[in-house]
């Protein structure tokens, strides 16, 4: 019996020591970069950074990158107490967040990583709402509508009688902040009887499953799930505009076109592996955004990004 | 001969010496170590209670009990936050009630069958299946609930309203399946503990197997069965993952279980993933709800122990 | 008594009580069969659904690949190794502590002391606390606060230890209780101290029962998801842990991630990973049963 136990322990130890992808190799023959990069933040940006992280690790096997999704707000909270190296955000850093960071000696460095058309989605069988105005969206989502507007009919009398089921980002999300700010006029103002989630996947699944459902999230999720949900055109005062890369870059998708951000800790950027990751992204930005189905940076944004990176890291 | 022996009683010192003393010390050391371990396991209870109590008290200093129990909107993570606890209490109540509605007939039926009807060979096949069912991780059950039970069963057959992608009913059904082995095996144990004499008496009086099972064995084992039910209910109350995956995350106070809902446990899971900053009201909310959950399951557990103790029929 | 009008006794044509009882008997038996059928049928449906949905991804790639944003490439290697690390560490901490506590309670503690009775009551209660509450405890005191270990393997192991410890203690106590007292008395009579009796006689006799109980408790740790949700196991991790302070993920949470993905290509992955998890759990349960059967005979 004792021999069996001893053998079992030995096997466990051996398995553990040998298991894995040799991340303990110190003088890496594969370029020498090693270390851990901790990333957290927005669910909208996660699919993009996950692709970047994965490709970066393929090129640099001794570097470990972890990506968590606590929402834009949650990401900043951890970032500003030093728990993460990089924070993903679907809105710019807020003043009070910035102040907390400064108070803790953390200096955030902002990069725009992609553009996004915040899309409003409906079920494919929804044949009445192909274009929604900002006013109609406001009726749907305003705090005053809580408990009251529970039917499409009440959003607009031309719509049929159909239960209105709402899905969307939760309060920790930058998408949430942006959407409420643009549609309801005040960041954070929203009715609370909807299905909130920090994980935008839940919104897709929810809307797909219910003919009367509506949700809001980043465009990449729509493109990734082609055919399962439909993005409506938005009328921001200049006619109905469908969300697309061009519409965002030329500014016609209003008011829901927006840039997506990533914030590096200045101190972390001084580490070679983190700088390499930032460079990797800047150099491969087009391929990465294409793979992840995101809207790439405009030429102007791209060159600004390179310039900023050069300035921080000294070439 | 005896008298001389009685006079010459040798002096024996009872103090341990040499090797014996060392052996006694060794024992004292081990006793202390193990005692410490035992205390640790108990210390954990107090630690849990404290860790929940302190932040929960802070929560209640910021949010009045009146609002907590008086309002009916639960939106603690929004601004302005609302702290009416009833929606998540209702969510817990619905999922638990549905779970018990499913698990009690099924579990007791299986238990009665195994204890009173089944051949030994059948038992040896069925019991492992029950153990397998008991061992299925809750994530996997969540998969089952979200991709099979809700779309194929609930959305097809539930007559009230329109069922969305998530529903409290599907969550309740799956939690019910999860606790069937608990009800079945504990009830079966209780029934097995009823002495054969009672059964044989019943048969001797002309009872059929069914009559003996329902009128003799079942009442005799009732305390154990009730305890099993209470324990299963407490497990259903505390179930997090299944409800999180299958019922959605919209706290809803409703009479219709086909709607999306959020239970106390699934709220904790939901808020935990979102990761609230330490000390914020959202963070403290997790502790307040956790405390309520802990107290409820704690009381239920004590109740089940009491029930067994007080009502157990003593036969010997 | 005139017998004229009451010539033949009236024959009752209603179903006799005996027949009625038989009918109820049959209905009852039907109910039992149906219950059994539903319970087992549900289990079978679940298993069949998992295997049929996951069949396309049930291959070595699943285990060898790391998680990926691209479903075609995604695998669960980091989750498997993460689970090995976390559950292994949990076992290493919980088994000695739990068995030690059980030894104290069964062999050394005076049952009439109030503090010992308190310990007894508490272990029962701890076993029925919802596991998510341990997650809260862990978030407050282990990941942050007092121990501040962060979201690492050690944090997960400590939390899971709290979850399984009561069960280990209870199972070990049952195993110790099953050892006949004659063994103890004989040993004490021969001059051994209590500790020597435990160490040389009782413990070896109780090992099979303790082994069974601890294997089952550890397998429970393998399947836990709720408490670890709160301490960062839901992270996209594409490497295996290399230390106790390493970030990690575990198999149940990898499955949770797959389920949460909207893209349908991830669904077969969720099913396949579930099959792997069930396979591992079944293996551990089979091991426990094997140990129990093999060594139980020896004791007789």
Q: Which of A69-73, B185-189, C194-198 has the highest mean pLDDT?
A: B185-189
User: Above 90 in pLDDT, residue A24?
Assistant: no
Chain B with chain C: Cβ pairs closer than 8 A: 252
* CA angle centred on C24, ends C21 and C27, rounded to 5°: 155
- Which residue in A has a C-alpha nearest to residue C87's C-alpha? A12
Question: Closest partner residue to A224 among C88, C150, C263, by Cβ?
Answer: C263
Distances (CA, A) of C83 to A66, A192, A236, C219: 17, 37, 50, 11
CA nearest neighbour of B294 among B261, B255, B268, B260: B268
- The pLDDT > 70 percentage for chain A reads 90
Instruction: Spell out which residues of chain A touch residue B273, defining contact as CB-CB under 8 Å.
Output: 70, 198-199
pLDDT band at C123 (very low <50, low <70, confident <90, very high): confident
User: Above 50 in pLDDT, residue A29?
Assistant: no
User: Above 80 in pLDDT, residue A10?
Assistant: no
Report the pLDDT value the prediction gives residue C125, as an integer from 0 to 100.
81
For the beta carbon of residue A5, count every other beta carbon within 10 angstroms.
11
Section A231-253 average pLDDT: 88
Does C242 sit within 8 Å of A20, measured CB to CB? yes
Chains linked to A by 3 or more Cβ pairs within 8 Å: B, C
Report the pLDDT value the prediction gives residue A13, as an integer from 0 to 100.
54
**Binding-face residues of B in 152-181 toward A, CB within 8 A:** 161-162, 164-166
Instruction: Spell out which residues of chain B touch residue C124, defining contact as CB-CB under 8 Å.
Output: 301, 305
pLDDT tens digits, residue range A194-205? 998 878 888 998
- Which residue in B has a C-alpha nearest to residue C233's C-alpha? B273
Chain CA centroid to CA A113, Å: 11
pLDDT band at B36 (very low <50, low <70, confident <90, very high): confident
pLDDT tens digits, residue range A75-120? 898 899 888 999 999 989 989 899 999 999 999 999 999 998 899 9
Determine the 3-state secondary structure of B312 from DSSP. coil
- Which residue in A has a C-alpha nearest to residue B163's C-alpha? A210
Does B138 sit within 8 Å of C225, measured CB to CB? yes
Does C81 sit within 8 Å of A23, measured CB to CB? no
pLDDT band at B207 (very low <50, low <70, confident <90, very high): confident
Question: Closest partner residue to C129 among B107, B137, B297, by Cβ?
Answer: B297
CB A116 within 8 A of CB A219: yes
Section B248-267 average pLDDT: 92
Tell me the CB-side half-sphere exposure of residue B302, using CA atoms within 13 A: 8
User: Above 70 in pLDDT, residue C93?
Assistant: yes
User: Above 80 in pLDDT, residue B125?
Assistant: yes
Does C103 sit within 8 Å of B237, measured CB to CB? no
pLDDT tens digits, residue range B137-157? 999 999 999 999 999 999 889
pLDDT band at C242 (very low <50, low <70, confident <90, very high): confident
Report the pLDDT value the prediction gives residue C87, as an integer from 0 to 100.
95
pLDDT tens digits, residue range B51-73? 788 888 889 888 888 888 888 89
Cβ contacts of A51 within 8 Å, gap of 6 or more = A288, A291, A292, C69, C70
Report the pLDDT value the prediction gives residue C251, as an integer from 0 to 100.
94
Report the pLDDT value the prediction gives residue A31, as an integer from 0 to 100.
58
Question: Closest partner residue to A190 among B78, B248, B260, by Cβ?
Answer: B78
Section C25-41 average pLDDT: 93
How far does C230 lie from chain B, in Å, by closest CA?
5
Chosen for mutation from B147, B277, B283 (greatest number of chain A CBs closer than 10 Å) is B277
pLDDT band at A25 (very low <50, low <70, confident <90, very high): very low
On whether any CB of chain C is under 8 Å from the CB of B240, the answer is yes
- Which residue in C has a C-alpha nearest to residue A221's C-alpha? C262
pLDDT tens digits, residue range C208-235? 889 888 998 899 999 999 999 888 777 8
Does B162 sit within 8 Å of A212, measured CB to CB? yes
Section B193-221 average pLDDT: 90
Name the average pLDDT for chain A. Answer: 85
Does B184 sit within 8 Å of C21, measured CB to CB? no
H-run or E-run covering B83: strand B82-83
On whether any CB of chain A is under 8 Å from the CB of B279, the answer is no
Q: Which of B232-246, C67-81, C166-180 has the highest mean pLDDT?
A: B232-246
Does B275 sit within 8 Å of A77, measured CB to CB? yes
User: Above 50 in pLDDT, residue A28?
Assistant: no
Quote the tokens at residue C247: 């970030």
Does B129 sit within 8 Å of C193, measured CB to CB? no
Question: Closest partner residue to C260 among A24, A202, A228, by Cβ?
Answer: A202
Long-range pairs for C25-30 at CB < 8 Å and ≥24 separation? Answer: C25/B208, C25/B209, C25/B210, C25/B211, C28/B210, C28/B213, C28/B214, C29/B117, C29/B210
Q: What is the CA radius of gyration of chain A?
A: 22
Chosen for mutation from A11, A64, A204 (greatest number of chain C CBs closer than 10 Å) is A64
Report the pLDDT value the prediction gives residue B128, as an integer from 0 to 100.
86
Distances (CA, A) of C185 to C109, C179, C181, C190, C202: 17, 12, 6, 8, 11
Section B253-262 average pLDDT: 92
Report the pLDDT value the prediction gives residue A18, as an integer from 0 to 100.
47
Chains linked to C by 3 or more Cβ pairs within 8 Å: A, B
- The pLDDT > 90 percentage for chain A reads 41
Does C118 sit within 8 Å of B42, measured CB to CB? yes
Distance CA A205, CA A211 (A): 12
Does C236 sit within 8 Å of A16, measured CB to CB? no
On whether any CB of chain C is under 8 Å from the CB of A102, the answer is no
- Which residue in A has a C-alpha nearest to residue B74's C-alpha? A192
Helix/strand/coil percent split, chain B, to 5: 75, 0, 25
Report the pLDDT value the prediction gives residue B123, as an integer from 0 to 100.
87
Instruction: Spell out which residues of chain A touch residue B147, defining contact as CB-CB under 8 Å.
Output: none
Chosen for mutation from B248, B253, B269, B282 (greatest number of chain A CBs closer than 10 Å) is B248
- Which residue in A has a C-alpha nearest to residue B253's C-alpha? A193
Chosen for mutation from C72, C234, C262, C287 (greatest number of chain A CBs closer than 10 Å) is C262
Instruction: Spell out which residues of chain A touch residue B152, defining contact as CB-CB under 8 Å.
Output: none
Report the pLDDT value the prediction gives residue B165, as an integer from 0 to 100.
87
pLDDT band at C297 (very low <50, low <70, confident <90, very high): low
Does B37 sit within 8 Å of C97, measured CB to CB? yes
Instruction: Spell out which residues of chain A touch residue C85, defining contact as CB-CB under 8 Å.
Output: 16
pLDDT band at B15 (very low <50, low <70, confident <90, very high): low
Report the pLDDT value the prediction gives residue A250, as an integer from 0 to 100.
83
- The pLDDT > 90 percentage for chain B reads 39
How far does C29 lie from chain B, in Å, by closest CA?
8
Q: For the residues of chain A, what is the DSSP string, one character each?
A: -HHHHHHHHHHHHHHHHH-SS-TT-SS-SSSS--EEEEEEE-TTTHHHHHHHHHHHHHH-TTEEEEEE--HHHHHHHHHTTTS-SEEEESSPPPHHHHHHHHHTT--EEEEEEEEEE-EEEE-TT--S-SEEEHHHHHHHH-GGGTTT--BHHHH-TTS-S-B-EEEEE-TT-HHHHHHHHHHHSSTT---S-SEEES-HHHHHHHHHT-TTEEEEE-HHHHHHTBTTBEEPEEESSSSEE---HHHHHTT-STTTEEEEEEEEEHHHHTSHHHHHHHHHHHHHHHHHHHHTT-BPPPHHHHHHHHHHHHHHHT-
H-run or E-run covering B74: strand B74-75
How far does A198 lie from chain B, in Å, by closest CA?
7
pLDDT tens digits, residue range C36-67? 999 999 999 999 999 999 998 888 888 888 88
User: Above 80 in pLDDT, residue B282?
Assistant: no
Does C207 sit within 8 Å of A16, measured CB to CB? no
pLDDT band at A137 (very low <50, low <70, confident <90, very high): very high
Does A53 sit within 8 Å of C238, measured CB to CB? yes
- The ipTM value here is 0.86
How far does A202 lie from chain C, in Å, by closest CA?
7
Q: Which stretch of A19-28, A233-242, B17-26, C191-200 has the lowest confidence by average pLDDT?
A: A19-28
Residue whose structure tokens are 């070439």: A315
On whether any CB of chain C is under 8 Å from the CB of B286, the answer is yes
How far does B131 lie from chain A, in Å, by closest CA?
25
Chosen for mutation from B18, B30, B132 (greatest number of chain C CBs closer than 10 Å) is B30
Chosen for mutation from B18, B33, B42 (greatest number of chain C CBs closer than 10 Å) is B42
Name the average pLDDT for chain C. Answer: 86
On whether any CB of chain C is under 8 Å from the CB of A121, the answer is no
Name the average pLDDT for chain B. Answer: 87
Does C238 sit within 8 Å of A65, measured CB to CB? yes
């Amino acid at each position: 019996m004792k021999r069996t136990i001893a053998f079992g322990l030995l096997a466990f130890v051996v398995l553990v020591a040998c298991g894995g992808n040799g991340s303990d190799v110190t003088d890496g023959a594969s370029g020498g970069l090693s270390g851990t990069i901790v990333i957290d933040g927005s669910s909208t940006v996660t699919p993009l950074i996950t692709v970047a992280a994965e490709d970066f690790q393929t090129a640099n096997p001794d570097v470990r990158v972890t990506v968590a999704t606590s929402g834009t707000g949650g990401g900043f909270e951890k970032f500003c107490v030093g728990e993460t190296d990089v924070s993903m955000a679907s809105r710019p850093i807020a003043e009070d967040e910035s102040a907390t960071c400064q108070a803790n000696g953390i200096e955030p460095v902002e990069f725009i990583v992609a553009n996004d058309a915040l899309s409003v989605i409906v079920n494919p069988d929804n044949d009445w709402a192909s274009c929604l105005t900002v006013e109609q969206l406001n009726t749907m989502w305003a705090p005053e509508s809580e408990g009251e507007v529970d039917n499409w009919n009440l959003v607009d009398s031309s719509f049929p009688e159909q239960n209105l089921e709402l899905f969307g980002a939760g309060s920790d999300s930058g998408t949430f902040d942006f959407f409420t700010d643009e549609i309801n006029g005040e960041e954070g103002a929203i009715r609370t009887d909807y299905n909130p989630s920090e994980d935008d996947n839940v919104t897709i699944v929810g809307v797909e499953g219910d003919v009367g459902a509506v949700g809001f999230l980043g465009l990449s999720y729509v493109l990734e799930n082609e055919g399962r949900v439909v993005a409506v055109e938005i009328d921001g005062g200049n006619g109905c505009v469908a969300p697309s890369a061009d519409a965002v870059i030329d500014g016609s998708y209003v008011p829901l076109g927006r840039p997506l951000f990533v914030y590096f800790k200045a101190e972390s950027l001084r580490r070679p592996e983190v700088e390499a990751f930032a460079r990797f992204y800047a150099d491969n930005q087009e391929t990465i955004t294409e793979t992840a189905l995101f809207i790439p940076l405009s030429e102007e944004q791209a060159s600004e990004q390179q310039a900023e990176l050069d300035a921080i890291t000294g070439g | 001969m005896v008298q001389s022996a009685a006079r010459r009683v040798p002096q024996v010192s009872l103090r341990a010496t040499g090797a014996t003393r060392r052996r006694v010390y060794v024992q004292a050391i081990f006793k202390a170590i193990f005692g410490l371990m035992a205390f640790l396991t108990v210390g954990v209870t107090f630690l849990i209670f404290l860790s929940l109590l302190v932040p929960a008290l802070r929560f209640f200093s910021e949010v009045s009990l009146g609002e907590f129990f008086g309002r009916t909107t639960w939106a603690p993570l929004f601004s302005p936050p609302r702290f009416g606890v009833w929606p998540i209490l209702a969510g817990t109540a619905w999922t638990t009630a549905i779970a018990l509605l499913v698990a009690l007939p099924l579990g007791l039926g299986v238990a009665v069958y195994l204890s009173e009807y089944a051949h030994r060979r059948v038992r040896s096949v069925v019991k492992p299946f029950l153990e397998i069912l008991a061992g299925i991780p809750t994530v996997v059950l969540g998969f089952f609930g979200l991709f099979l039970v809700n779309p194929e069963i609930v959305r097809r057959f539930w007559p009230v309203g329109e069922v969305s992608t998530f529903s409290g009913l599907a969550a309740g059904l799956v939690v019910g399946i999860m606790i069937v082995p608990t009800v079945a095996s504990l009830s079966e144990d209780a029934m097995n503990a009823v002495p054969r004499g009672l059964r044989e008496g019943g048969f001797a009086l002309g009872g059929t197997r069914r009559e003996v099972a329902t009128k003799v064995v079942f009442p005799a084992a009732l305390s154990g069965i009730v305890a099993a039910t209470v324990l299963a209910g407490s497990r259903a109350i505390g179930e997090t993952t299944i409800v999180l995956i299958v019922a959605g995350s919209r706290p809803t106070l409703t009479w219709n279980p086909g709607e999306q809902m959020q239970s106390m446990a699934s709220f904790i899971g939901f808020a935990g993933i979102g990761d609230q900053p330490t000390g914020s009201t959202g963070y403290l909310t997790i502790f307040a709800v956790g405390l309520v959950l802990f107290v409820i399951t704690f009381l239920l557990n004590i109740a089940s122990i009491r029930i067994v103790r007080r009502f157990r029929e003593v036969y010997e | 008594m005139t017998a004229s009008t009451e010539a033949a006794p009236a024959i009752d044509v209603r179903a006799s009580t005996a027949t009625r009882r038989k009918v109820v008997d049959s209905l009852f038996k039907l109910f039992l069969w149906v219950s059994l059928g539903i319970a087992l049928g549900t289990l079978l449906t679940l298993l069949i659904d998992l295997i049929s949905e996951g069949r396309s991804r049930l291959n070595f790639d699943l285990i060898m690949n790391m998680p990926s944003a691209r479903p075609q490439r995604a695998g669960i290697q980091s989750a498997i190794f993460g689970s090995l690390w976390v559950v292994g560490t949990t076992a290493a901490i919980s088994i000695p502590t739990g068995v030690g506590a059980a030894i104290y309670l069964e062999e050394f503690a005076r049952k009439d002391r109030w503090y010992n009775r308190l310990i007894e009551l508490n272990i029962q209660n701890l076993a029925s606390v919802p596991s998510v509450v341990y997650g809260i405890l862990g978030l407050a005191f282990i990941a942050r606060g007092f121990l501040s270990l962060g979201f690492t393997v050690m944090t997960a192991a400590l939390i899971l230890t709290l979850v399984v410890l009561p069960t280990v203690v209870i199972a070990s106590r049952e195993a110790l209780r099953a050892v006949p007292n004659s063994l103890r008395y004989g040993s004490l009579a021969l001059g051994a101290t209590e500790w020597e009796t435990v160490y040389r006689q009782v413990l070896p006799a109780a090992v099979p029962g303790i082994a069974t109980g601890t294997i089952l408790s550890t397998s429970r740790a393998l399947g836990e998801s709720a408490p670890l949700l709160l301490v960062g196991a839901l992270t996209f991790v594409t490497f295996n842990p290399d230390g106790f302070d390493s970030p990690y993920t575990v198999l149940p949470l990898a499955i949770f991630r797959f389920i949460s993905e909207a893209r349908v290509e991830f669904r077969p992955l969720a099913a396949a990973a579930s099959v792997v998890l069930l396979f591992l759990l079944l293996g551990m349960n089979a091991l426990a049963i094997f140990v129990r059967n093999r060594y139980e005979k020896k004791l007789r």
